[in-house]
Structure 1
Amino acid sequence: MYRNNADSSFCFINRLNGALHDELQQPGEHEPTSALLNYCKRKFLRPYVAILTLVGLNPISTDMSNVRACCSYVQALMVICVLLTGYVLRYLCGYRGDRGFSSIRDIRPGNGSDVCGASAATTTTNTIGELLFGYVVPSVLNLLSFGSAVLVCKVIEHEQLQNLIERVFLLSAKPKRLCRMLWLYLGLALALLLLLFGYACCVVIMQPAQIIKVAWLAEALRDWELCLRIGLLCTILVQDLVEIIVLSSYYIECYLLRVHLETLSHKLLMHSIDSLDWMREILEFRKLLERVNQHVSIPVCFLIVMNLAYAFAGLTYLFKDFDFHYCALQLVLLNIANVMLWLFLGLLPFFVAGSVTRVCQNAQANGHQIRVRPFVYHNTSAEDLNSTLLFASSLDMSAKLFRMPIQSNYLCFAILVVTIVVLTLGMCLNLSALGSF
C-alpha cells in the first residue's frame, strides 16, 4: 500500500511539473526575454511587415541585404507607376472619388440609357476648375501620402517601429491579446477596403457601354472598352489598398502607444516598477510618441484632407446637383454610402489620436494617485513620491495631427459643426428633390 501511494504521488508530481512547463511555454510576463521577443517577431512583427510589403512600405533594417533593399525600393517605384496610371485612367474615364462618373449629373431619361437614362455615346468636356479640383488635387494628395509614407518607412524609420513593438511586448502581461488586436485591426481594414472597392465595382458595372468620356479618345479606344474597365478597377484597387494600409499602420501604432502607456501607469500604481525606471520609460515613450506625431502622421494628414474633401464634395453634390427625379434608387444609395465611407475614413484618425491623448492626460495623474496609496508605497520616502508627483504633473504629451494636439472635446465640437452643416444643406438646398406628395 505504501508503494502504491508513493507511485501515485510520484505521478502527480510529474503531471504538476509538466503543467508548469507548459504554462511557462505560453507567452506571458514570466517568460524569458528572448522567448518573448521571438514570439513577438513570429506572431506580430513579421505578419505586420508582410502587410506593409504588399505596397512597398516595409522598413529597411540594418540586417537587410542590399539586394532585398533594392527590391523594396523598386517595388515602391512600381506602386508609384501604377498610381500614376490610375490617375490618368480616372481622368480619361471621368471617374471621381466623390461621385463616381461625373457625367451622371447630366443624365435624362428617354435616351436609350442603362442607368438613369445615361446615353452610351455621351462624352463630356471638363472645365479647368473641374480638372484641377476634381482630378489633379486629389491625385496629388494621394501621391504625396504614399511618397511621404515611403520616405518615413525607408529613410527616417531606422528600426523604430520594431523598437516600439518589442517594448510593448516586453512590458505587456498579455502578448496574445496584442496579436489578436493586430488581426482585428487588419480585419477591419480589409472590410473597409472591400467597401471602397465594392462601390467602384458597382459604379463601373452600372456605367453604360462607353466608359471613355474624353471626346478625342472616345472613338479611338472604343474597341478597348473591357480592358479599360479592368484597368480602371485594378488601379482603383491599388489606390484604395495603399490608403487603407497607410491608415491602418497609423491606427496600429497608436494602439501600441496607448497600451504601452497604460501598462506603465498600471505598473507604477501597483508598485511593480521603480519610480526612477518609470521616469526613464516615460521619456522613451515620449520619443516614440514624437516619432508618430512628426513622421508617421504626415501621410495620414494628406489622406485626411483628401477623404474629407471627397465627403463634403459628395454631400454638396447630393444636396445640390444630384437629380433624384431621374436616377435609380440604387445609384442614390450608392452615393450616400460613398459619402458616409469617406467621412468615416476622414474622421477616424482624429478619434484614434484623441484616444492616445486621453491616455496621456491620465498619466499626468499618476503622481497624485500614488500619493494617496499608503499601503502600496508605505516604504517609499516622501522625497521620491514628491519627485514622481512633480515629474508626472509636468508631462505634456498628446497625439498630434497637422501639428495640432487632438483632444476629444474639440473633436466632439467639430462633429457637432459637421452635423449642423449637413442638416442645413438638406433643409435649404434640396427641399424638393424627392418630389411632392
Structure 2
Amino acid sequence: MSNVSACCSYIQALVILCVLLMGYVLRYLCGYRGDRGFSSYRDIRPGGYGNATDVCDSSGGSKTSNTIGELLFGYVVPSVLNLLSFVSAVLVCKVIEHEQLQNLIERVFLLSAKPKRLCRMLWFYLGVALTLLLLLFAYACCVVIMQPAQIIKVAWLAEKLRNWELCLRIGLLCTILLQDLVEIIILSSYYIECYLLRVHLETLSHKLLMHSIDSLDWMREILEFRKLLERVNQHVSIPVCFLIVMNLAYAFAGLVYLFKDFDFHYCALKLVLLNIANVMLWLFLGLLPFFVAGSVTRVCQNAQANGHQIRVRPFVYHNTSAEDLNSTLLFASSLDMSAKLFRMPIQSNYLCFAILVVTIVVLTLGMCLNLSALGKF
C-alpha cells in the first residue's frame, strides 16, 4: 500500500508539473505578467489595430512590440523561479528524509503546556495562508475580467482562437490559481515549521529557568533542536529563497511600472488601486519570510542567555552544584544558532535597515519619476 501511495504522489507531482508548464506558456501567449497583469490593456488583434474603448493604454493605442528583454525577464525568469521552487519543494518532501518534521511536531506538542493555544495558532497560520491565496487569485480574476477583448496577444493565434476566448480565460485563471497555490503551500509550510521551532525553543528555555528539566536533558534537547533548525536552513529554505527572489522582483518591477510607465490620467481608478494592491501583496510575500526567520533568530539569541539567567536564580537552583551551573553556562554561551535564508543568518536589525532602504527608494521614485501622476492643481 505504501508503494501504491508513493507512486500516486509522484504521478500527482508530475501532473502538477505539466500543468505549471502549460500555465507558463499560456501566460506568455496572453501577455499576463505577475507584476502588472496584462502587458497592454487593449484589444490585441492581428494587424495591430486596437479597440477604441481601451481600459488603459499608455501608448495611445499604438502597437507595442515584444522585446527579448521582456520575454526573458518578464516571462522566462519568473517562470523558471516558480518552477525551481516547486521542483526543490518536491525534492525536499519526497527525496530528503522528512522524519525530522514529525519529530519536531511530536516534541512541540509533548513539551507544550498549552496545546490548545498551539493548535489555534496553527489554524491561524493556515487561515492567513488561505487569505493570501484568495487575494492573489482575486487580483488575477479582476485583471482577466477587466481585459475588454481577446487576451491572446500573438497575432497569428488571435483569429484562430477567437471562438475559444472563454476557455482561454478560464484556463489562464486555473493555471494562475495553481501557481499561486504552490507558492502559498511552500511559504506556509516554512512559516509553520519556523513557528514550531520558535515555540519549541521557548518551551525549553522556560523549563530550564523553572528547573522543570534537568540541565543534561536540556543540553540533549538543544542538540536535537540544532538538527531540526539545520534541516530548515539547509533544505526547507531553498524553495522559499526562489520565491523570495520572484516576489521581490515582482514588487519592485510593479513599483517602477507605477512610477514610470503607468499612466494615471487615462486609467480607471479601480485599475490603479489593483496595481497598487498587487505591489503591496508581492512586497508582503517577499518580506514575510525574513520576519519569520528573524523571530527564530531572536529566540535563538535569547537561549544563549539562559546560562547566565540560571546563575542569578539562587532560590531555583540552590541545590545544584556550581560545576553543573558552570557547564550549563558554558554550553549556553557557546550556542551559535540562527535561522538562515540564502545561507545567511537573518537578524532583525539588518531586516529593519533593509526596510528603511526600500522605503527611501520608494519615496525617491515617487519624487523623481512621476511627480504629476495624480494630476495638477
Q: Do they fold alike, i.e. is TM over 0.5?
A: yes
Contact 2:209 / 2:306 at 8 angstroms: preserved in 1? yes
82-91 vs 150-159, which moves further: 150-159
Alignment of 1:287-436 (within 5 A): 287-436=227-376
Cα 1:71/1:108, change in 2 over 3 Å: closer
Whole-Å Cα distance in 1 between the matches of residues 206 and 351 of structure 2? 27
Whole-Å Cα distance in 2 between the matches of residues 307 and 117 of structure 1? 25
Whole-Å Cα distance in 1 between the matches of residues 173 and 24 of structure 2? 12
Cα 1:211/1:111, change in 2 over 3 Å: closer
Whole-Å Cα distance in 2 between the matches of residues 125 and 101 of structure 1? 14
120-129 vs 100-109, which moves further: 100-109
Cα 1:108/1:125, change in 2 over 3 Å: closer
1:112 Cα offset (Å): 2.4
Contact 1:112 / 1:118 at 8 angstroms: preserved in 2? no
1:238 aligns to 2:178 (yes or no)? yes
Cα 1:76/1:275, change in 2 over 3 Å: same
1:117-139 per-residue CA deviation (whole Å, 9 max, x = no partner) reads 69999975321000000000000
Cα 1:210/1:107, change in 2 over 3 Å: closer
Contact 2:42 / 2:55 at 8 angstroms: preserved in 1? no
Contact 1:98 / 1:310 at 8 angstroms: preserved in 2? yes
1:316 Cα offset (Å): 0.1
Q: What's the secondary structure of 1:156's corresponding residue? A: coil
Q: Which runs of 5+ in 2 are unaligned?
A: none
1:235-274 per-residue CA deviation (whole Å, 9 max, x = no partner) reads 0000000000100000000000000000000000000000
Contact 2:43 / 2:149 at 8 angstroms: preserved in 1? no
Cα 1:373/1:119, change in 2 over 3 Å: closer
1:173 Cα offset (Å): 1.2
1:176 Cα offset (Å): 1.4
1:136-181 per-residue CA deviation (whole Å, 9 max, x = no partner) reads 0000000000000000000103322111101111111111112111
Whole-Å Cα distance in 2 between the matches of residues 340 and 387 of structure 1? 49
In the superposition, the TM-score normalised over structure 2's length comes to 0.96
Whole-Å Cα distance in 2 between the matches of residues 108 and 137 of structure 1? 26
Whole-Å Cα distance in 2 between the matches of residues 92 and 174 of structure 1? 52
Contact 1:289 / 1:399 at 8 angstroms: preserved in 2? yes
Contact 1:121 / 1:210 at 8 angstroms: preserved in 2? no
72-81 vs 97-106, which moves further: 97-106
1:264 aligns to 2:187 (yes or no)? no
1:103-125 per-residue CA deviation (whole Å, 9 max, x = no partner) reads 13999999521523699999753
Contact 1:308 / 1:346 at 8 angstroms: preserved in 2? yes
Contact 2:45 / 2:155 at 8 angstroms: preserved in 1? no
Q: What's the secondary structure of 2:61's corresponding residue? A: coil
1:30-83 per-residue CA deviation (whole Å, 9 max, x = no partner) reads xxxxxxxxxxxxxxxxxxxxxxxxxxxxxxxxxx61000000010011111111
Contact 1:353 / 1:400 at 8 angstroms: preserved in 2? yes
Query: Which residue of structure 2 aligns with residue 32 of structure 1?
Result: none
1:353-391 per-residue CA deviation (whole Å, 9 max, x = no partner) reads 000000000000000000000000000000000000000
1:433 Cα offset (Å): 1.6
In the superposition, the TM-score normalised over structure 1's length comes to 0.83
1:436 Cα offset (Å): 1.1
Contact 2:42 / 2:56 at 8 angstroms: preserved in 1? no
Contact 1:254 / 1:352 at 8 angstroms: preserved in 2? yes
Contact 1:319 / 1:425 at 8 angstroms: preserved in 2? yes
113-122 vs 154-163, which moves further: 113-122
Whole-Å Cα distance in 2 between the matches of residues 350 and 206 of structure 1? 34
1:202-252 per-residue CA deviation (whole Å, 9 max, x = no partner) reads 000000111101111111111110000000000000000000010000000
User: What is the RMSD of the two structures over their aligned residues, measured on CA atoms?
Assistant: 2.3
Whole-Å Cα distance in 1 between the matches of residues 56 and 182 of structure 2? 32
Higher relative contact order at CA 8 Å, sep ≥6: structure 1 or structure 2?
2
Structure whose CA Rg is larger? 1
Contact 2:248 / 2:286 at 8 angstroms: preserved in 1? yes
Cα 1:142/1:83, change in 2 over 3 Å: same
Whole-Å Cα distance in 2 between the matches of residues 251 and 295 of structure 1? 14
Whole-Å Cα distance in 1 between the matches of residues 146 and 202 of structure 2? 49
Contact 2:44 / 2:151 at 8 angstroms: preserved in 1? no
1:393 Cα offset (Å): 0.2
